Chains A and B, each alone.
Chain A
Amino acid sequence: MSKEQILSSDGVPLEVSLKKAERRNKIRALMLVGPLFLFLLITYVFPIGDMLFRSVDDRMITSKLPNTFAALEQWDGKELPDEEVYEAFYKDFYPLAIAKEAGKLYQRLNYEKSGFSSGLKKTNRKIKKFEKGNYKEQFMATHKIWNKVEYWTALKNTGPNWSYAKYLKGMDLKFDDQRNIVQVAEDRQIHKILWLRTLNVAFWVTVFCFCLAYPISHLLATLPMKYSNLLMICVLLPFWTSLLVRTSSWMVLLQQQGPINDLIVWLGLAANDNRPELMYNVIGTFVAMTQILLPFMVLPLYSVMKTISPSLMRAGKSLGGTPLTAFIKIYFPLTMPGIGAGCLLVFIISIGYYITPALVGGASGSLISNTIAYHMKSSLDWAFASALGTMLLVGVLAIYWVYNKLVGIDNIKLG
């Protein structure tokens, strides 16, 4: 290939003049995209970045107790620390106690080891009367935590500014005193169950949605326009209704004295005094979520099926394939992009689903998102909520990656 540069008629290299000519259009296009880009940055990239940051951020305690941690550097962790460590702690804690700013400290240290909260509270009250010198004895006299090595070890363990302890907690793991990763006690392993339940619910909701949506979409794609429009509205109508209204209507339907239970009793499937519980358990979550997420499966399937020419099935049959063979060999593979898109969409939405499991799920039907909400609103352990959120995000990305490896993201069709 010759390296000769092609010039436009005024002698400027062609590439340069092309860029010049296109610049105006490029700037215009950028200006159109700009607001959206900014919006995404503010509402999406920034919050997610902040969430990732919070989940590992553990600087608060180091910043509150700088002298203590500096002194603890030298401590070997076998015996109780020396006087200078106690003195450093006094230097850090005294101003906090005076300014009444120690509250966060109790909470954070109590996560690390229970007992800290009451110990620190008592110390907080007494520290104002401490005399100069011999702090070790005065501390040890104040509360028993100060004469236990474990508490000092726990305190030292909070030293690193960045910590993945919250992620361990999300997987029912923790650091023991020697900084080894161990499982938490069996009766406290709640997150593993929640994760499994979340995946389980997401999987089955996806399966149910697929089984229901495939025939509907096929009907939608093959019916004449006037009927298919009506059917489409029927599919979309719930979509336009508030999520809360739909979930509440399921609560009405599924409750023990509700119409569905009435029907079951009337059909003789259950005794009147032994009505099955359809709500506040996993059944309610399945039913309501499947109904709510159905349109997300129907729409991609429909858009793909719409493009499949009916003559392909005819060709399959005229070539000697039974209707079933023609379906399996021709129609089904051609709907794969829609199936992939629909399943991915429903699965991803359902692993992060919140309102429905919160309202109809009860204790046995609540999902990981409900736990995240709990830590955001009630326990105020935002770092842990962020860690769970990040784990969810990573999970979704992993599913996306696996899907890409198996099916290929190019084979997705959303509409």
Chain B
Amino acid sequence: MILNGIITGIILILIGLYGMIAKRHIFKIILGLIIISTGIVLFFVSLGYVNNGIAPIISGDNLYVDPLPHTLMLTTIVVEVCITSLALVLALKIYEKYKTLDIKILEDI
């Protein structure tokens, strides 16, 4: 298996997923979320790559990469920022109320 952008993106998503499921600390779960979103961005941007293509700014008759996945990722980045900010605010509030960020302790309360 050759390690290219698509595979690396999926591996990043898997690492983030592992972090979200296995880790007990809320902040680490949020970090997992951020890693997942990085992975998805890498995955999509690699999907649009064309061998020897250049950036899709039209100037003459060249080979260009696919512009659509890049555009979609601009939207996704903003969405992920919003979700992360919301998750951080919730974590802040949870700490304020329970004085802990450990999922295992929180579940028992």
Are A and B interaction partners?
no
Binding site for A on B (CB under 8 A): none
Interface residues of A (CB under 8 A from B): none
